[in-house]
Amino acid sequence: MPIPALLPPGLTGSQSVTIPPRITIQFATERSLTMPLLEFTQTTHVNATIRLEQATAAQVDQYAAFLRAPADEVVDKALSYVFAKDRDFQDFLKTPEAARVVPSLRIRRSPQNGSAAKPAKANGKSARGAGAARDARGRGR
């Protein structure tokens, strides 16, 4: 029995219909478009020093293990996600004030031309001195 929804208007189930074949037209092109299988976005990474609460650091490690991803990538993607979803922050980024923000993230500079890297200064103290003091106290992990 024919399916009524597929019949042209005005036909009942007992009539026959001839449907013309579809015609396919192919156009010759001078060159074909190719799509690469992989796409790469070149990004620049920086090394930064941050302090986290011990519980947060443990959860970063746990989430990284859960995702089978490096902890650095977990922190990077989590922050990118928060920045993109926070509408008030997105509005702030459109203001002139956002362009005048003084950087406070402690970024370690890479050595250039094979020279040794100098420790970055944070709050007027060298990073080496702060690290040595922390090592002397113990890391607290």
Convert the chain into a string of H (helix), E (strand) and C (coil). CCCHHHCCCCCCCCCCCCCCCCCCCCCCCCCCCCCCCCCCCCCCCCEEECCCCHHHHHHHHHHHHHHCCCHHHHHHHHHHHHHHHCHHHHHHHCCHHHHCCCCCCEEECCCCCCCCCCCCEECCEEHHHHHHHHHHHCCCC
For the record, the structure tokens of 3 come out as 């399916």
Residue 40 pLDDT: 77
- Residues 57-79 pLDDT 10s: 999 999 999 999 999 999 999 99
Q: What is the DSSP letter of 37?
A: S
Is the pLDDT score of 121 beyond 60? no
Average pLDDT over residues 109-123: 55
